[in-house]
Structure 1
Amino acid sequence: MRLTKTLTILAVAVLTATPALAEKRVTVSNWTSPNHATSRGHAAFAEMTEAEFPDAFDFKVFAGGALLGPKPTLSGLRDGVADVGLLAFTYFRSEMPYAQLVADMALLGDDHYAMAGATTEFVMLNCQPCQDEFAKNGMVTLSGISTAPYVLLTTEPIVEVADMKGVKVRTGGSVWDRWATRLGAEPVNVPSSEMYDTMSHGVVTAAVQPIGALKGHSLIEVAKHLTALPLGTYHSGSIFAISPKFWKSLSAEEREQFTAKLPEAVAQSEVNYETDDLTVLEEVADLGLTVHEPSPEFLQDLVDFRTSDLEEIARISREERGIEEPEELIATYRALIEKWHGLVKPLQPIRDNPQPYADLLRQEVYSKIDLATYPN
């Protein structure tokens, strides 16, 4: 009896003295540079989640493509190479036709906070075909994303419609390809991680990107001109694309813990995009950057294209991508864009206090999901 009691006391003492081990190792893969808005968003998510639940997860964050590149990320998530990844859906046009529908409405984006909210709500709550194609391709999405507004970054000045003729421009595909082709330019689709190399070697001489890409992707070394043309936002992707193997391995409690700080992480990522743009604009002179305003004719041409292209989106979706009755999904998404513009406007400037925006994401999206069964 005395021996049993002594062993029990020793066992309790050992357990008390032994630090609790993290229950889940979480591997996060990001193919952008460590300084990019999304890489810093992943780092913030890991830090916030570990601080909130120190014994639940142990994060290992890989940036700069150290683990997976842009295109291998999808198969890497499917195969469990990474548990969390940044995915740009336009790299998978044939596999994800519904994601291309979202991408096609890029020019509707003029506030990236609104677009991140609208896209997150659309793909997670309002687009079952989106969820079906995600599942088919081996991923679970726990967020949308939106870059800061796109502009034209170039090696030579472009201010008129005629200046676009013959230009090889790196685009994110979809609507920008149609816009560039219409102007006599040649769209080139390469991953954003390869933009610097393609511009430095003259393969492309222009890129459709946020202002912050001049530093985030080091383009300022090769592109010294910026045309302030409102080219929408890139929002066909997810900063928190999840491996199904990892997601299925989580208990209901672990899912609650894992997603607890997602709204804050998405909010911080969007703030990163904005502050990166502002930093570049503050350093224009030091960077040797020349900012050009597009001619009135160039701007009006874009406005006209944006309006006329909405009908083309429905046609392409139906005839080329096999989406039945795309008009309903288009209408739903446009309504969400309008809704989120109304929601975020009173919160500006969000960069000064992103918590109310995070609370909106939690209220409008994450609180409405049954994590025990999601995405089914």
Structure 2
Amino acid sequence: MHGTELTFWEEVTLLRQSVYAAAAAASLLAGPVGAQTLKVAVGKAEGGPEYFALDNFATRVTDATGLKTRVFPMSLLSLSEIPPGVTDGIADVGYVITPYYAKEFAEVNMVAETAMLVSAGTPADYPGAAMAGAITEYIMGCTDCGRGYAAQNQVYLGSAASGDYLLLCTSPLSTLADLSGTKLRAGSGNYSRWAETFGATPVSMPGNEMYEALSQKVVDCTIASAAELTAGGLFDVVRGITVGAPGGVYAGLNTVNMNRGTWEGLDTKQKTAVLHAAAEAQADFVWKTSKDSADNLAAAPGKGIEVMDAAPEVTAKTSEFVKADMATIAAQYTEKYGIKDAEAKLARMPALVEKWKGLTAGMRDDRDALAKLYWDEIFSKIDPETYPAVSN
């Protein structure tokens, strides 16, 4: 090798860049958008809410516009590869988990860490639906968020949120004493801090590694929704479920992110159809994960899994944590990522969450009403000719 020897990860990066560049060049040679097949990357297996939402999205886009689409569940790009893959045009549309790229999506991740607000005060009747609505409304109107997506060559088209977050464990636990000393898989900073508050050790890992981590006792529990019992195959390794702790949902989920060049290659009618399909996809994801969670909780005792409520001392301490954590979120994102006016930005979220708690109440079993709500309140207000109105 000539010059300085490259490290393994530098070689991987160069290889990735060359592959992406070749794919992007091939995409350009394919001609206008209408002559291409829009590639939709999911990164998760069929049967889960991610595939359900994106597969329906693709079908609706094709039906409304005539554009060809192809959905890739776990091929083309893995979950962690989707964000750069959409940036570089490997995929035209991707399901993006923003916390995987903390710096690139810092503005969005900051707001996603407020997701435990849906359980604060009067708990949301439909937590995932409420948080998905609140964070989508916030991001659509957030100029700094838009700049972040522009820097990644992406167009943001909506967020989803998980079902109610629980503790899925290798053995039952409920009390403060039970939690102390445990190892908990946490998918975002707020849940890591929650774990530390209870004397537990947070462990960060991608969602598709939960099964192996639990089966090999690398972690004692994963903080997740009960939908993962089927989506992640966790019925085989979970023996205790704690309801009511930590609460909240996971909100760092961008249901539909589109490559900016692909978006700009669409005409106004096509963009409007994509916006309609994105609103429907958001509702599909939220409804599916909520239904799967409820079904799995009901089935758990029959599979030898003990389901219990968190002890009152745990829920009380959790409420105190949620209130105090807002200031922590602002401070950390200001110091680590240089976000400006973090406190003022976060101050918008409690009111938005309360608004959406009210709007989504009673909709848990009505997917169509939820899709209409997302369209009426958010997506219909977007001007497809000017959105997104920011550039890098």
Q: Does residue 1:35 correspond to 2:31, yes or no?
A: no
Counterpart pick for 1:68 among 74, 77, 89? 77
Q: What amino acid sits opposite 1:354 in the alignment?
A: R
> How does 1:327-342 map onto structure 2 within 5 Å?
327-342=343-358
Counterpart Cα distance in 2 of 1:50 and 1:186? 46
Per-residue CA distance 1:7-49 (angstroms, 9 max, x = gap): xxxxxxxxxxxxxx97441111111221111111111222233
Offset at 1:134? 1.2
Residue 88 of structure 2 corresponds to which residue in structure 1? 79
Query: Percent of aligned positions with the same letter in both sequences?
Result: 29
> How does 1:234-245 map onto structure 2 within 5 Å?
234-245=250-261
Offset at 1:142? 0.4
Counterpart Cα distance in 2 of 1:274 and 1:287? 20
Residue 16 of structure 1 corresponds to which residue in structure 2? none
Counterpart pick for 1:97 among 94, 97, 106? 106
Which structure has the greater CA radius of gyration? 1
Q: What amino acid sits opposite 1:364 in the alignment?
A: E
Q: Does residue 1:361 correspond to 2:374, yes or no?
A: yes
Counterpart Cα distance in 1 of 2:312 and 2:139? 36
Per-residue CA distance 1:265-300 (angstroms, 9 max, x = gap): 211211101110121122123322110111111221
Q: Does residue 1:200 correspond to 2:218, yes or no?
A: no
Preserved CA contact (<8 Å) 1:49 1:261: yes
Residue 372 of structure 1 corresponds to which residue in structure 2? 385
Preserved CA contact (<8 Å) 1:31 1:193: no
Preserved CA contact (<8 Å) 1:168 1:186: yes
> How does 1:110-125 map onto structure 2 within 5 Å?
110=119, 111-125=127-141
Residue 48 of structure 1 corresponds to which residue in structure 2? 60
Residue 133 of structure 1 corresponds to which residue in structure 2? 148
TM score, norm. by length of structure 1: 0.88
Counterpart Cα distance in 1 of 2:276 and 2:52? 18
Residue 215 of structure 1 corresponds to which residue in structure 2? 230
Preserved CA contact (<8 Å) 1:78 1:245: no
Q: Does residue 1:252 correspond to 2:268, yes or no?
A: yes
Counterpart pick for 1:304 among 314, 320, 324? 320
Preserved CA contact (<8 Å) 1:149 1:230: no
Offset at 1:320? 2.7
Counterpart pick for 2:67 among 57, 70, 90? 57
Counterpart Cα distance in 1 of 2:186 and 2:386? 37
Q: Does residue 1:163 correspond to 2:175, yes or no?
A: no
Residue 12 of structure 1 corresponds to which residue in structure 2? none
SS at match of 2:160: coil
Q: What amino acid sits opposite 2:250 in the alignment?
A: Y
Q: What amino acid sits opposite 1:154 in the alignment?
A: C
TM score, norm. by length of structure 2: 0.85
Counterpart pick for 2:195 among 180, 191, 213? 180
Counterpart Cα distance in 1 of 2:364 and 2:118? 17
Q: What amino acid sits opposite 1:149 in the alignment?
A: D
RMSD: 1.7
- How many residues get paired? 349
**Structure 1 gaps, min length 5:** 1-20
Q: Does residue 1:232 correspond to 2:258, yes or no?
A: no
